[in-house]
Amino acid sequence: MANREKWGTKLGVILAVAGSAVGLGNFLRFPVQAAQNGGGAFMIPYFIALFFLGIPVVWIEWAVGRYGGLFGHGTAPGAFSKMSKSRWAKYLGVIGIFGPVVIFIYYTYIESWLLGYMFFSLTGKLLALTTAAQMQGFLQTYQGLAPQSNLLTAYIFFLITFGLNFWILSRGIKGGIELLCKIALPMLFIFAFIVALRVWTLGTPDPAHPDWNIMNGFGYLWNPDFSLLLNSKIWLAAAGQIFFTLSVGMGSILTYASYLSHGDDIALSGLTAASTNELAEVILGGSIVIPLAFAFLGPLGTTAAANSGAFNLGFITMPLIFGKIPLGELFAFLWFALLFLAGITSSVSLMQPAVAFMKDDFKFDHKKAMWILAIITFILCQAPIFFLAHGVLDELDFWAGTFAITLFAAIETVMFVWVFGIERAWEEIHHGAELKIPAFYKFIIKYITPLFLFAILGFWIIQQGIPILFMHGVAPQDVPYIIATRVGMIALFLVIAISIKIIWQGKKLS
Amino acid sequence: MNLFGWIFLIASFTIIIGLNIFCFYRVLTEPEEEL
């Protein structure tokens, strides 16, 4: 316990948590969600979800992590075992290791595409493409999905990205993750601000369409449609967006907080990290994609681009538009660079729970933990790379990136508030706090936040989980790949659960 | 952009920038210590 790593500075841990939270979703998912769900009116449920769901879960996850760290545990199984006397409690924490590892497996591959696109932006190869079909073809060739294409280029960028992640992780908490976030997060904000400034000053780029201008682009995103406020869909969309954007339920914040001392503040630090994430999302994320798309594609084109998904918007629509503005190569590079920085500060946080588990519970030294995890995850990463066309990445994304994180957040909240007890939970959050949380939050944390979480979980299970479970819409030739992916995920889950059983048996004997 | 759009944009930006300034002011004015 005495040898556990610690953060260097308070600002360092805040930036690391903010770096974990700021991801691709801030710049791609948020503006699309807002534009599709009532524009400015979306911000009403969005802020309600932020203050009643997001920030309380952030405080819970920080508090659970710091509490576990007190006993030398950096992951959920150890923390839960100290919060409940039940021998089953530790097994509920398995998801807190399983989820981030599975997300890391496909997230690093997507992150490597951003690195590749940074390179192709600078060489001019990307912006030489002038139609959506060409851009789509380029992406498919890069991914090895187009006929007679190969994965060599994508694989080289993946190797660089994967190596970079483990190099940073190998340098530890203070010299690796904290240093990365202290450099990368300010750079990300500077890059995003430069791109946003270019967007704000574009005016009316096409005189043939005077209505297609940046101001109307902001109107497309912000003009409220109040009628939609009566629709439960936008309330769930807002809650889902808040949940995703703050990176709660992944186990990463829990692990990061475990490297704090028990007297360190979490109330103000948690709120600061969350508000930094919001700054990136609403102000910068809301100022780039949609206004830019509107000014060049008009209302119908923007709607079509938004409906094609956040991913296409980032990789196809944005480079196409950058190709039409002066110094487009530079702005395209800054765009993909900021997304890459957002990606890498998140991906290192996804692997840290597994690193902590290896070191705290298996008692491996740092080097050994790094090598074991690098080998295991490298092998697992091959599935979404080589079987992308068969839906492996999407399958991993739903079960780990949507289902597991929501379930884990619900479990974590119930464990902390109801099993550990609201009085102890409240005291734990306030221990060393540099911010007095208003008393009404005690009621919110106890009743409203769990209700919110179970509503999201139930909604996603019914709307997405059941069709995905029964493989509705999956092509017959892809079914074996989907089944193999599920078998792999179950095997990984069981390996972690059995490891926990063996570790705790060892503890009992010793 | 209509009037309500401006109201929502300005209100949202104000809430977030205000919260961020409040938080960082509190963090940075507390004496920094090795954690």
pLDDT above 90 for A507: no
Q: Considering only the beta carbons, identify the residue of A14, A222, A264 that sits closest to B27.
A: A14
CA distance A46 to A36: 13
Q: Which residues of B touch A229 (CB under 8 A)?
A: none
Q: Return the H-helix or E-strand segment holding A325.
A: none
pLDDT digits (tens, 9 = 90+) for A189-213: 999 999 999 999 999 998 999 999 9
Give the CA distances from residue A371 to residues A127, A169, A258, A355, A361, in Å, rounded to whole numbers and listed in that order.
39, 11, 22, 10, 16
On whether any CB of chain A is under 8 Å from the CB of B2, the answer is yes
* pLDDT of the residue at A186: 97
Residue A100: pLDDT band by 50, 70, 90 thresholds? very high
* pLDDT of the residue at B34: 56
Residue A1: pLDDT band by 50, 70, 90 thresholds? low
Q: Which residues of B touch A47 (CB under 8 A)?
A: 12, 15
Residue A306: pLDDT band by 50, 70, 90 thresholds? confident
pLDDT digits (tens, 9 = 90+) for A313-349: 899 999 999 999 999 999 999 999 999 999 999 999 9
* pLDDT of the residue at A310: 80
pLDDT digits (tens, 9 = 90+) for A62-71: 999 999 999 9
pLDDT above 80 for A364: yes
pLDDT digits (tens, 9 = 90+) for A426-483: 999 999 999 999 999 999 999 999 998 998 899 888 888 899 999 999 999 999 999 9
**pTM of the predicted model, to two decimals?**
0.94
* One-letter-per-residue 3-state SS of A465-498: HHHHHCCCCCCHHHHHHHHHHHHHHHHHHHHHHH
Q: Span A255-284, mean pLDDT?
A: 96
Counting one residue from chain A and one from chain B, the pairs whose CB atoms sit within 8 A come to 88
pLDDT digits (tens, 9 = 90+) for A151-160: 999 999 999 9
CB A249 within 8 A of CB A409: yes
On whether any CB of chain A is under 8 Å from the CB of B25, the answer is no
CB A108 within 8 A of CB A344: no
Residues near A386 by beta carbon (within 8 Å), at least 6 away in sequence:
A151
Q: Span A259-278, mean pLDDT?
A: 96
CA distance A402 to A166: 25
Amino acid at A127: L
CA distance A429 to A423: 10
Q: What is the dihedral of CA A135, A139, A144, A150, to 10 degrees?
A: 70
Residue A225: pLDDT band by 50, 70, 90 thresholds? confident
- What is the least distance, in Å, from the CA of A424 to any CA of chain B? 24
Q: Which residues of A touch B23 (CB under 8 A)?
A: 268, 271-272, 275-276
When the pLDDT of each residue in chain A is averaged and rounded to a whole number, the result is 94
On whether any CB of chain A is under 8 Å from the CB of B26, the answer is yes
Q: Which residues of A touch B (CB under 8 A)?
A: 6-14, 39-41, 43, 47, 215-216, 218-219, 222-224, 260-261, 264, 268-269, 271-272, 275-276, 278-279, 282-283, 434-435
pLDDT digits (tens, 9 = 90+) for A104-127: 999 999 999 999 999 999 999 999
Q: Tokens in use for A110?
A: 């997507």
* Highest averaged pLDDT of the listed ranges A41-50, A122-131, A218-227, A493-502: A493-502
On whether any CB of chain A is under 8 Å from the CB of B8, the answer is yes
Q: Which residues of B touch A14 (CB under 8 A)?
A: 27
* pLDDT of the residue at A217: 92
Neighbours of A147 (CB within 10 A): 6
CA distance A84 to A111: 38
Q: What is the dihedral of CA A337, A339, A343, A346, to 10 degrees?
A: 120
- SS3 for A186? helix
- What is the least distance, in Å, from the CA of A396 to any CA of chain B? 33
Q: In this predicted structure, which of A303-307, A364-368, A406-410, A501-505 has the lowest mean pLDDT?
A: A303-307
Q: Which residues of A touch B7 (CB under 8 A)?
A: 40
End-to-end CA distance of chain B: 47
Q: Which residue in chain A is spatially nearest to B9 when comparing CA positions?
A: A222
* pLDDT of the residue at B33: 59
Q: What percent of chain A has pLDDT over 90?
A: 82
Which one of A26, A246, A269, A279 would you mutate to disrupt binding with B, by most B Cβ within 10 Å of its Cβ? A279
pLDDT above 60 for A394: yes
Q: Which residues of B touch A10 (CB under 8 A)?
A: 27, 30, 32-33, 35
pLDDT digits (tens, 9 = 90+) for A24-59: 989 998 988 888 888 888 889 999 999 999 999 999
CB A450 within 8 A of CB A413: yes
